[in-house]
Amino acid sequence: MKIEIILVDNNSPDSALFTKTVIDNRDLIDISIITQPKLSTAFSLSSARNKGATLARGTWLFFTDAGCMLDPNFIVHFDKIKHNHKKKYIYTGERIFVHIKKDMEKVKFDQVYFKSLKRVSSASNYHKIIDKRFPWLENIGNEKHPWNFFHGCFMLVPRELYMKVNGSDLRFDGHWGYEDIDLIHTIITRAGGIPQYNRNMKIYHQEFDEDINKLSNSENGHRMNKKNNPNFLLICNKIEGFKEFKVQHFQDLGLDVDI
């Protein structure tokens, strides 16, 4: 199975690291880099995904974030489902939030290492340990708003469907979220994508000491205040009934969110 990796540098503070990664691995795997021009915000995720998708040559697109690691058996499980693209399946899977130590140069990324990682709560998961999309994720095909359960660190879609809807909406600033949910909503409603949860394909979301120990008040304020979130307002205007759904969903999660 042929795999290519496309790194998109969204004005990172250490662009040299991207270049070094490509140089160090170009003899091992098909890997390339896109360096974005000066952006108004380094969180222009929609732009990054669109440029990566345009350059990609494969049948499938898998999007993840810089802070995520694939389970060692991820590719093995993907190989089992890759021929389903004619059925328009789009996949997501579990995010496992784990504590990571900074010195990783001597780490052997095998099953033993991943099993040794300790689950922790994460600000990006509303300070919960288990992926907040459970138990709904396991029945995603029957959910009223299945797109709500797709997040940017794990989106696996046929490239044909992504290009059919012209990719991600550039009006969304990734700093405020929801661009991933909007993309999947568009793929499902306009391109006939069929949402699937694959229990075997997992990603590990890295949580470093500074992430775990930092004061969460400002982060909470950012996440909990939807009234001042331009992306939330935009997606509620685009998807009928989404705001009402989110009100109920946050209540089900026991979260006090200002909507």
Looking at residue 215, what is its pLDDT? 44
pLDDT at position 107 is 76
Residue 6, domain member (yes or no): no
Please give the residue that has the higher pLDDT: either 12 or 243. 243
Report the half-sphere exposure of 61 (CA within 13 A, side-chain side).
26
**Residue 24 to residues 12, 17, 21, 30: CA-CA distances in angstroms?**
19, 10, 5, 12
Are the C-beta atoms of residues 152 and 135 closer than 8 Å to each other? no
Q: Is 27 helix (H, G, I), strand (E, B) or coil?
A: coil
Asked if residue 229 is part of any domain, the answer here is yes
Closest CA to 59 of 34, 84, 80: 84
Containing structural domain, residue 187: 39-216+224-252
182 falls within a domain: yes
Number of domains in the chain: 1
User: Where does the chain have alpha helices with state H?
Assistant: 15-25, 45-55, 74-81, 111-116, 159-164, 179-191, 209-213, 217-224, 230-238, 242-252
Q: What is the pTM of this model?
A: 0.91
Instruction: Give the list of residues 6+ apart from residue 224 with CB closer than 8 angstroms, or none.
Output: 255, 256, 257, 258
**CA angle, residues 204, 53, 51, in degrees to nearest 5:** 105
Q: What is the mean pLDDT of the chain?
A: 88
CATH code of the domain in which 161 resides: 3.90.550.10
Q: Is the pLDDT of residue 185 over 90?
A: yes
Q: pLDDT digits over 33-68, tens only? A: 888 777 776 668 898 999 999 999 999 999 998 889
Of residues 198 and 221, more confidently modeled: 198
Tokens, residue 64 = 């993840």
Residue 137 maps to a domain: yes
For 9-42, what is each residue's pLDDT tens digit?
Answer: 877 777 787 788 778 888 888 888 888 777 776 6
Residue type for position 156: L
Quote the percentage of the chain above a pLDDT of 90: 58
User: Which DSSP state fits 130?
Assistant: S
Q: Which residues of 53-76 are buried (b: 16+ CB within 10 A; e: fewer)?
A: beebeeebbbbbbebebbbeebee
Res. 218 pLDDT band, cuts 50 70 90: very low
Burial (0-12, 13-18, 19+ Cβ within 10 Å), 112: exposed
**What is d(CA 249, CA 48) in angstroms, rounded to the nearest whole number?**
29
| Residue 102 belongs to some domain of the structure | yes
